[in-house]
Amino acid sequence: MNELTLDKIDFAILTELQHHGRLSNQELAQKVGLSPSPCSRRVKALEDAGYIAGYSTLLNAEHFNLALTVYIQIRLEKHTSETLEAFEKDILNYQEVQECSLITGSEADYQLKVLVKDMQNYKLFLLDKLTVNPNIAGIHSSFVLKNVKSSTAIPIN
């Protein structure tokens, strides 16, 4: 986790990798104008310094019949640290939840992004996992009609 001063080539490497996570070192080297050896050394250094958090495979949700994305805003009853921690711990265990953030600027305390097969399964998620929680004071659901953009890339330039 040493500090590293990134140059143009490092940014080029990261930009390439953000979009093509399984590019071979050889191809990557060619794209950024380096020979393979320094390229792999740089990638390794970027990993060791913590710039690269991990690699992931993106699946096609439609092929798994996961057709319903819902953004849920949740208001809690109390705001003690115990209540918040207990709620967050529960959320971490729910596979349907892709994102959960503590937010400010609206009436809600938390916003969740949830992925389920259909409305029936969303109902089950709400009933079995959220409404059973006595600390939840209010839930508001916004259903996604169309996914316009969805990117794991962050703006590093």
3-class state of residue 33 by DSSP: coil
Contacted entry of DNA, its own copies, none for residue 100, CB cut-off 5 to 8 Å set by kind:
its own copies
Residue 142 near DNA by CB under 7 A: no
Tell me: does residue 138 bind DNA (CB under 7 A). no
Q: Are 31 and 14 in contact (CB under 8 A)?
A: no
The answer to whether 51 and 14 have CB atoms below 8 angstroms apart is yes
Binders in 14-73 for DNA, by CB under 7 A: 24-26, 34-38, 40-44
CA 83 – CA 100 distance, rounded (Å): 15
Task: Count Cα neighbours of 53 within 13 Å in the Cβ-side half-sphere.
Answer: 5
Should residue 45 be labelled a site residue for its own copies when binding is judged by CB under 8 A?
no
- Pick one of its own copies, DNA, none as the site partner of residue 123 (Cβ within 5 to 8 A by kind): none
Q: How far apart are CA 88 and CA 92, in angstroms?
A: 6
**Chain positions contacting its own copies, by CB under 8 A:** 14, 17-22, 49-61, 63-64, 66, 69, 71, 88, 91-92, 95-106, 108, 110-111, 115-116, 140-157
**Chain positions contacting DNA, by CB under 7 A:** 9, 24-26, 34-38, 40-44
